[in-house]
């Protein structure tokens, strides 16, 4: 078991060879169930998946990897030009041709078979077009392109490696650390990741900030009270909880079971909260609300605002597909701030993205950090946020 503590940069940084606790999967199983959080009460099928290729995590944006019906799908552009391949897209017949040395691989949108040097090979799922992106089953990478694919159940991620490539310095979760082009406030964090833009690091703190008691992420981690296992557990619960918040469907939601499941991932200080969630779910049915979305919390971009909770900076993405009345569309106490941030109401059928400082807290006096910190009832996508419409 890993028991890494964020107490020094030397402990955080490690080489690829030093990574441990992963299993190399030569033939990826069709189902990556252990990596995927579910929101059964909400009734949506596709779930966002973290995929890290050569130490760089694909962002939570258009074409983000997802799991549907037990199969992980990734955007072709994620691997375009990698693993010694050349690609050609034929829009007329919806085929993608990959040439890798002597092998010719042909993928066709709508087909669950590839042709490898003219011979059919089962992929386990169909190649599809989604939001204008060509999405391919992960098995293409592992089985046909001979890449190294690792499933890290600990960090709930899939890692893809170019064989023999030196990845340099990585954080404990297998992501590349950068030491150049640093954000202005880089000293506030234990390290800076290559796949996170400076704007995320330099985003202002919540207005609910008590400067005299506040601590930066670097200070929080230096206290040796947080371990990598703690953060992995907390983030897993955050993802499940916000999966429930961001994936609701009036056609399938069961208010009582939805409320019970959602409350499990929140601070347990008040049982009244479960009733509030149930009332929201009843409103979802009445107002014909349908929302889809996900969050991606960053374990190292965390701070203590001095108000009893921690803030975990997270990327988010959502789309509202249906509602009758523009009122209380989200299980979010700061929902009305969305209109203030955007200078207009949220639109139907439009993707929104941004960063938000999501609050985690506990009702335990002497908590076990990894077990007892959950989403705070007031945790919001709209309170301290860079919410914007995706053009």
* pLDDT digit string, tens, across residues 55-113: 999 999 888 999 888 889 999 999 888 888 899 999 999 999 999 988 999 999 999 99
Is the same domain home to 110 and 216?
A: no
Confidence check: pLDDT of 341 > 80: yes
Query: Is 14 part of a structural domain of the chain?
Result: no
Confidence check: pLDDT of 5 > 50: no
Each residue of 101-131: pLDDT tens digit? 889 999 999 999 999 999 999 999 999 999 8
Q: Provide the residue range defining the domain that includes 338.
A: 186-389
Query: Is 302 part of a structural domain of the chain?
Result: yes
Confidence of residue 180 (pLDDT cuts 50, 70, 90): very high
Query: What pLDDT is attached to residue 234?
Result: 94
- For 264, residues 6+ apart whose C-beta sits below 8 A from its C-beta are none
User: Which of 126, 161, 196 lies at the terminal end of a domain, its last residue?
Assistant: 161
What sign for the dihedral angle of Cα 208, 295, 42, 236?
negative
Query: Is 61 part of a structural domain of the chain?
Result: yes
Is the same domain home to 142 and 208?
A: no
User: Which of 161, 195, 230 lies at the terminal end of a domain, its last residue?
Assistant: 161
> For 369, phi and psi rounded to 5 degrees?
-55, -50
Tokens of 198: 């400076």
Is the same domain home to 126 and 242?
A: no
Is the same domain home to 243 and 369?
A: yes
Query: Is 177 part of a structural domain of the chain?
Result: no
Query: What pLDDT is attached to residue 211?
Result: 80
User: Which of 161, 194, 209 lies at the terminal end of a domain, its last residue?
Assistant: 161
- From residue 361, alpha-carbon distances to 296, 306, 343, 357, 380 in Å are 18, 12, 31, 13, 13
Confidence of residue 2 (pLDDT cuts 50, 70, 90): very low
Confidence of residue 4 (pLDDT cuts 50, 70, 90): very low
> For 168, phi and psi rounded to 5 degrees?
75, -150
Confidence check: pLDDT of 7 > 90: no
Domain count across the chain: 2
Cα dihedral angle (60, 307, 247, 277), rounded to 10 degrees?
180
CATH code of the domain containing 100: 3.30.457.10
Query: Is 166 part of a structural domain of the chain?
Result: no
Tokens of 391: 């053009």
Query: Is 8 part of a structural domain of the chain?
Result: no
Query: Is 174 part of a structural domain of the chain?
Result: no
Tokens of 63: 């074409």
| Strand, coil or helix: 118 | coil
Is the same domain home to 119 and 197?
A: no
Query: What pLDDT is attached to residue 253?
Result: 98
- DSSP per residue over 196-231, as a string? S-HHHHHPPPPSS--TTT-B-HHHHHHTT--BHHHH
Query: Is 207 part of a structural domain of the chain?
Result: yes
Query: What pLDDT is attached to residue 24?
Result: 40
Query: What pLDDT is attached to residue 227?
Result: 77
Burial environment of residue 80 by CB neighbours within 10 A (0 to 12, 13 to 18, 19 or more): middle
Is the same domain home to 116 and 220?
A: no
Residue reference for tokens 């349908």: 290
Prediction pTM value: 0.86
Tokens of 337: 């701030």
* DSSP state, residue 40: T
Query: What pLDDT is attached to residue 45?
Result: 57
Is the same domain home to 199 and 332?
A: yes
Mean pLDDT of the chain: 87
Is the same domain home to 197 and 142?
A: no
**CA 35 centroid distance within chain:** 11
- Give 206 or 390, the one with higher predicted confidence: 390
Is the same domain home to 207 and 252?
A: yes
Is the same domain home to 36 and 97?
A: yes
Is the same domain home to 109 and 38?
A: yes
Side-chain half-sphere exposure of 175, counting CA atoms within 13 A:
21
> Buried b vs exposed e over 84-103: b needs ≥16 C-beta within 10 Å?
ebebeeeeeeebbebebeee
Is the same domain home to 109 and 257?
A: no
Q: CB of 170 within 8 A of CB of 14?
A: yes
> Buried b vs exposed e over 8-40: b needs ≥16 C-beta within 10 Å?
eeeebbbebeebeeeeebeebbbebeebbbbbe
């Amino acid at each position: 078991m890993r028991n890494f503590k964020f107490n020094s940069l030397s402990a955080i940084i490690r080489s690829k060879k030093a990574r441990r606790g992963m299993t190399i999967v030569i033939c990826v199983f069709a189902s990556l169930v252990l990596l995927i959080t579910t929101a059964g009460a909400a009734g949506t099928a596709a779930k966002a998946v973290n995929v890290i290729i050569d130490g760089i995590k694909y962002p939570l944006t258009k074409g983000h990897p997802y799991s549907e019906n037990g199969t992980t799908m990734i955007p072709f552009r994620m691997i375009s030009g990698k693993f010694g391949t050349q690609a050609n897209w034929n829009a007329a017949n919806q085929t993608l041709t990959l040439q890798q040395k002597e092998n010719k691989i042909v993928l066709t949108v709508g087909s669950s078979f590839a042709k490898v040097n003219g011979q059919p090979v089962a992929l386990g799922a169909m190649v599809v077009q989604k939001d204008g992106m060509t999405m391919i089953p992960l098995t293409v990478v592992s089985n046909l392109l001979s890449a190294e694919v690792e499933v890290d159940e600990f960090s709930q991620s899939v890692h893809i490696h170019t064989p023999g490539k030196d990845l340099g310095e990585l954080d404990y979760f297998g992501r590349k650390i950068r030491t150049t082009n640093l954000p202005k406030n880089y000293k506030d964090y234990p390290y800076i990741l290559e796949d996170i833009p400076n704007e995320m690091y330099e985003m202002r703190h919540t207005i609910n900030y008590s400067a005299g008691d506040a601590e930066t992420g670097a200070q929080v981690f230096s206290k040796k009270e947080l371990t990598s296992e703690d953060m992995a557990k907390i983030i897993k619960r955050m993802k499940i909880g916000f999966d429930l918040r961001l994936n609701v469907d009036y056609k399938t939601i069961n208010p009582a079971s939805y409320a019970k499941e959602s409350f499990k991932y929140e601070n347990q200080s008040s049982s009244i909260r479960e009733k509030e969630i149930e009332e929201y779910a009843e409103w979802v049915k009445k107002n014909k609300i349908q929302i889809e979305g996900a969050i991606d919390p960053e374990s190292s971009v965390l701070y203590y605002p001095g108000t009893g909770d921690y803030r975990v900076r997270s990327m988010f993405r959502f789309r509202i597909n249906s509602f009758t009345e523009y009122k209380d569309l989200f299980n979010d106490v700061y929902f009305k701030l969305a209109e203030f941030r955007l200078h207009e109401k949220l639109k139907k059928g439009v993707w929104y993205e941004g960063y938000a400082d999501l609050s985690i807290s506990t009702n335990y006096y002497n908590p076990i950090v990894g077990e007892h910190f959950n989403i705070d009832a007031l945790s919001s996508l709209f309170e301290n946020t860079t919410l914007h419409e995706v053009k």
